[in-house]
Chain A
Amino acid sequence: MNASDNHNNETIISTKDLCVWYDDFQALIDVSMEIPEKSITALIGPSGCGKSTFLRTLNRMNDLIDCAKTTGNVYYRGQDIFQSSMEVSELRRHIGMVFQKPNPFPMSVYDNIAYGPRTHGIKSRAKLDDIVERSLRNAAIWEEVRDKLRQNALGLSGGQQQRLCIARALAVQPDVLLMDEPTSALDPISTTKIEELILQLKENYTIIIVTHNMQQALRISDGTAFFLLGDLIEYGSTDVIFSTPSDKRTEDYITGRFG
């Protein structure tokens, strides 16, 4: 399936017959999907439908789960990410991730942002200073933390921590940002700030976001994919999915009849 009716952007990530098992439980069933560049794609569906699994497969974070097994293909800019020639740390540099619960490291704000660049070999103080400032500005949190760069990041508020995590992900100059319910642990004001930020980031990044909040999907996304019990039920432009879904189950879900 693809949602390219609405955009003319090129496909950046595509999956073909992607299946994921956790031991004997099949969490994803033959998911084929094409995601356009520089757009926001929302993944929706009830808990346990496989949307987070799908997201975590795209940068191979599921490799960390011992019992997970994957078949099918995922292509990032035409390259099969499961090929042995694919360096997983390079893949994750290009496809960054923001988690449900803000997870800054227990280090200073500066060190949090510099962690990624340092990992990829940048040691010069001047360059790091530059990256830290640019990333924090891009994540719309520079003004709030510019005087607190040496303080422990755990002292920031939840919403600030989440924007810090976004800045941390931006610091390695990714192409794609995967976001796993990034606002579900935050208050409404922080949520609004992060949504505004996501809309700005669309200019330069491809964003794939898992959300439980229908309104959020409707407010920010260009394309929406509806998952149910591991199946990709429907995928199309957000306007179409929310106004005239073609599948009865999609309609039931977005009108709040279940889930």
Chain B
Amino acid sequence: MKTNQLPIRRRAYIATMKTIMWISALITCALIIGIIVYVFVKGIPFISWDLLSTSPTYIPHHIGILPDIMNTIYIVIASLVVMVPLGAGAAIYLEEYATNQKVVAVIEYAAETLSGIPSIIYGLVGMLFFCEFAGLRTSILAGALTLVIMNLPSIMRTTQESLKTVPQSYREGAFALGAGKWRVIRTVVLPGCVDGIITGCVLATGRILGESAALLFTAGFAHALNGFFQGLMSPGATLTVALYVYAKEQGEFGAAFAIAAILMVLTLGINSLAMWLENHFKKLREQGYPQEKSKE
């Protein structure tokens, strides 16, 4: 009897399973690459300087997406400005100040749950609360605030995780020198986890770029070109919302695919930026925190 060969049935079984896994992987890759190629092939011919640098007019088939680009930038800035201090502050409280572990667990559980809710529900709540109750009407600001609520849990969680990576011995060393809580956090804890916070921001930016459902309710569909502060108070479509409008309501598929291609490039760029920042800060940390200022 041969001892170095498995029975034929087992060999056939192994080979079959391997083939099935291989086919699954192939289909997955083909789908992803297929979508990317399809979007670029359909979209790139329509990308032109004219498209990027003008507003839409009533001339048929003349479409410009500059207002949508600006609205997207406004909404990202407005969301981050509110979101980062709130989320990071909450995380610092939970990790550094809170003593009741049960309360912390409840808040963390609530945050996990919040981040699993479909975005259209945030849109509905945002519309009722920010647009109607708070009187912001349909505006970029209402949209941005809705996105803040949507992304707060994730900013809070990433900050918390990075606070946990700062060794306890640093805190002890600073406390033992008589430093107060806030000084310890500001000088020893935060410099050690700023990379985590920034990476969290970049990822949040990616999610804001991709969000449409919540904004359909709250930020509206206008394509008017405004300055930052006026823009905040006016309705406006972001790139993703504009994509929806052009494709679904105006049948302008060329413009829709052009926007899709731009969004894909942006997403790619943002993910690369997140990776680069992480490495960059890792290197910085090996060199030590920046020096405190002293008076001459």
Is the Cβ of A115 less than 8 Å from the Cβ of B169?
no
Min C-beta distance of A18 to chain B, whole Å: 20
A46 to chain B, nearest CB (A): 24
A115 in contact with B288 given A89-B180, A123-B294, A125-B295 (CB within 8 Å):
no
Are B178 and A120 closer than 8 Å at their CB atoms? yes
Interface residues of A (CB under 8 A from B): 59, 61, 64, 66, 88-93, 96-97, 99, 101, 103-108, 110-111, 114-116, 118-120, 123-125, 128, 152-154, 165, 168-169, 172
CB distance from A215 to the nearest CB of B (A): 27
- Chain A residues whose C-beta falls within 8 Å of the C-beta of B171 in the assembled complex: 64
CA distance A93 to B175 in the complex (A): 10
- In the complex formed, the residue of A with least CB distance to B285 is A106
Give 8 pairs: A residue, B residue, CB < 8 Å, sorted on A.
Answer: A90-B178, A99-B173, A105-B170, A106-B192, A115-B187, A116-B179, A119-B183, A123-B295
Structural contact, B174 and A115, CB atoms closer than 8 A: yes
> Which residues of A have CB within 8 Å of B192?
106
In B173-231, which residues have CB < 8 Å from any A CB?
173-180, 183, 187-188, 192
Whether B289 contacts A99 by the Cβ 8 Å rule is no
What string of 1s and 0s marks CB contacts (under 8 Å) between B147-179 and chain A? 000000000000000000001011111111111
- Determine the residue in chain A with the shortest Cβ distance to B284: A106
Q: Shortest distance in angstroms between A121's beta carbon and chain B's nearest beta carbon?
A: 11
In the complex, what distance in Å separates the CA atom of A235 from the CA atom of B194? 48
Taking the nearest CB of chain B, how far is it from the CB of A149, in angstroms? 11
Contact between chains at A93 and B172 (CB < 8 Å): no
In residues 266-293 of chain B, which contact A (Cβ within 8 Å)? 285-289, 291-292
Q: When A93-B178, A119-B178 are in contact, do A101 and B292 touch as well, CB less than 8 Å?
A: no
What are the 10 tightest A-B residue pairs by CB atom distance, in nearest-first order? A152-B288, A103-B169, A116-B177, A97-B176, A89-B178, A93-B178, A92-B178, A103-B173, A119-B179, A125-B294
Chain B interfacial positions (CB closer than 8 Å to A): 99, 101, 167, 169-180, 183, 187-188, 192, 285-289, 291-292, 294-296
Cα separation A152 to B288 with both chains bound (whole Å): 6
- Residues of B contacting A169 with CB < 8 Å? 176-177
- Residue in B closest to A93 when the chains form the complex, CB atoms: B178
Distance in angstroms from A201 CB to nearest chain B CB is 17
B289 partner residues in chain A, CB cutoff 8 A: 105-107, 111
Is A168 touching B169 in the complex (CB atoms < 8 A)? Answer: no
Task: Say yes or no: B292 contacts A103, CB within 8 Å.
Answer: no
B294 near A61 with CB under 8 A, answer no
A43 to chain B, nearest CB (A): 17
Whole-angstrom CA separation of A164 from B169 in the bound complex: 15
Chain B residues in 8 Å Cβ range of A90: 178
B187 to chain A, nearest CB (A): 7
Contacts of A123 in B (CB 8 A): 294-295
Shortest Cβ distance from A95 into B: residue: B176
CA distance A105 to B192 in the complex (A): 10
CA distance A104 to B187 in the complex (A): 13
